[in-house]
Amino acid sequence: MESRDVGPGPRFNVRLVRVESQPDAQRLLTELGSDRGGVDRMSRKMQLIVVSAENVQARAAHIIKQVMLSKGGECATPRDVFLVDGKTPVRVIMMGTATHFRKAIRNLSIQPFGLKALASELARLLDDEFGSSEPRIIEAGRYTLDFGGRTLVMGVINATPDSFSDPGELWKFDDARARAIEMAQAGVDILDIGGESSRPGAEPVTLDEELRRTVPLIESLAGEVSIPISIDSYKSAVAEKAIDAGACIINDISGLRMDPAMISLAAERSAPVVIMHMQGTPRDMQKDPQYEDVVSDITRFLRERCDTAIEGGVDPGKIMVDPGIGFGKTIEHNLEIIRRIEEFASLGCPVVLGTSRKRFIGAILDRPEDQRVLGTAATVAFAIARGVDVVRVHDVEEMLEVVKMADAVAGKSRTNE
């Protein structure tokens, strides 16, 4: 490669600048010395936004492309979109700055073929991304969960003799209770208690057995710890008894599907819910899981489940979503989900991620369950850099340090402690 003679003049120290968010842009412009109006105006132009929209009529895709181009943005459509029937649903990918999108939204809102509804969805998406900097708040019983600042930590207590994470040794009532108290004292934000193993191949347990494992434990902890307790179950009868005992959050691995009464229970008891994606059941979920686009498919599923929950009376402000790492996914699926975890924020709900000690970590590092702390730490730190809201972990002392350090690097506020 030939060297370039830049001559005797000044060296300009030309470099690429990383701008991942509007706060990044605002910081850069403020350090430069721009006035407040300029900081607000130009920061909206410094971050490229890429938005995917499905089920767009082909004839509407033509309009979107024209509008985006006229406002300074861009729009990609399928190569043969001009050859198909105008009503055929297609996918489009729009690109531009926040300013480009806001100008386009105003135009799209008066267009036909469903584009008024699309404009409304785009406006909501931009408001979530570039709107109020106030943290989102979820009331969980007598507790308040603040999102948008530091990453919250959910500590896992598996009251199961065949738990993949604790090799069967934790489930002695006194030991489980002591460990839960240790987690609370260490600084976790939520305790998540489950009485049925969800490891690949696990067999379901009876209702009475799951109640025996969880309800007395929750009852004993509710007056001892000063953080919210979550019940990890897909059975409404278990969730109801757990809430009566002092739990205030429902964490359902089935996405509120396996027991239709779970939605009405959450609505009636005003309980926050974690809606998780799972392909299949724990017994068969790892038998050749297939997706067209794992993140797109899961996002579509979670959106449908959120809509169903809301239609059933669940407060939309009390929904969290979890893409379900390891629940009907290959190693490659899990890695893709983590790489693209920020895409789930488009659902408008706090995003929960549970990678702790999962099998894909063991497969990549060739480590047994009790030696996956460092692998877990890598996934937690990466996900925090991508904006995840809650991490679900077993090794809480180690992960609390990882979270605190990753939050600091990511520039997340530590004020909501």
- Tell me, what CATH number does 80's domain have? 3.30.1370
Q: Is the pLDDT confidence value at 281 over 80?
A: no
CATH code where residue 341 lies: 3.20.20.20
Q: pLDDT value at position 169? A: 45
Q: Is residue 355 part of a domain?
A: yes
Asked if the structure places residue 301 within a domain, the reply is yes
* pLDDT of amino acid 308: 97
- Give the C-alpha separation, 218 to 216, whole Å: 6
pLDDT at residue 417 greater than cutoff 50 = no
Task: Return the higher-pLDDT residue of 172 and 361.
Answer: 361
Structural domain ending residue among the three candidates 87, 113, 130: 130
The verdict on 294 and 188 lying in the same domain is yes
What is the DSSP pairing of strand 190-194 with strand 229-232? parallel
For residue 164, what pLDDT is reported? 43
165 — pLDDT class (breaks 50, 70, 90): very low
User: Domain check: are 67 and 181 in the same one?
Assistant: no
| Domain-embedded: residue 358 | yes
The domain boundary residue, chosen from 69, 97, 130: 130
Task: Look at phi and psi of residue 77 and say left if phi exceeds 0, alpha if psi is from -120 to 50, else beta.
Answer: beta
Mean pLDDT (whole number) for 351-358: 97
For residue 238, the surrounding DSSP H or E stretch is helix 236-245
Residue 5, pLDDT score: 57
d(CA 273, CA 253): 11
Query: Among 318, 372, 392, 412, which one carries the catalytic annotation?
Result: 392
pLDDT confidence bin for 10, thresholds 50/70/90: confident
192 found inside a domain: yes
Q: How many DSSP H helices and E strands does the chain contain?
A: 14, 13
Q: Which of 130, 157, 179 is the last residue of a domain?
A: 130
Residues 169, 77, single domain; the answer is no
Predicted structure pTM score = 0.87
Model confidence band, residue 286 (pLDDT cutoffs 50, 70, 90)? confident
**Structure confidence at residue 1 (pLDDT):** 53
Residue 62's domain comprises 49-130
Q: What is the pLDDT of residues 85-142, one digit of tens each?
A: 888 999 999 999 989 999 999 999 999 999 999 999 999 988 877 655 566 899 999 9
Residues 123 and 146 grouped into a single domain:
no
Mean pLDDT, the chain, integer: 90
Shared domain for 271 and 304, answered yes or no, is yes
140 and 126 in a single domain? The answer is: no
Is 56 contained in some domain?
yes
Is 314 inside a domain boundary? yes
**Do 172 and 142 fall into the same domain?**
yes
Residues 230 and 294 in one domain: yes
pLDDT for 240 equals: 98
Model confidence pLDDT, tens digit, residues 30-75: 988 898 888 888 887 888 899 999 999 999 999 999 999 999 999 9
Establish whether 392 is a catalytic residue. yes
Are 277 and 324 in contact, with CB atoms under 8 Å apart? yes
- Same-domain check for residues 242 and 376: yes
Assigned domain for 34 exists:
no
Which residue out of 357, 358, 372, 412 is catalytically annotated?
358
* 142 shares its domain with 291: yes
pLDDT number for residue 288: 79
Higher pLDDT, 159 or 163: 159
Same domain, yes or no: 98 and 158? no
Cα–Cα distance between 306 and 316 in angstroms, integer?
Answer: 8
Question: Coil, strand, or helix at residue 90?
Answer: strand
Domain tally, the chain: 2
Judged against a pLDDT cut of 80, whether residue 21 lies above it is answered with no
Q: Please check whether residue 108 lies inside any domain of the structure.
A: yes
Examine the residue annotation and report whether 235 is marked as an active-site residue of this protein.
no
Does residue 378 share a domain with residue 314? Answer: yes
d(CA 263, CA 273): 9
The predicted structure's pLDDT at residue 332 = 96
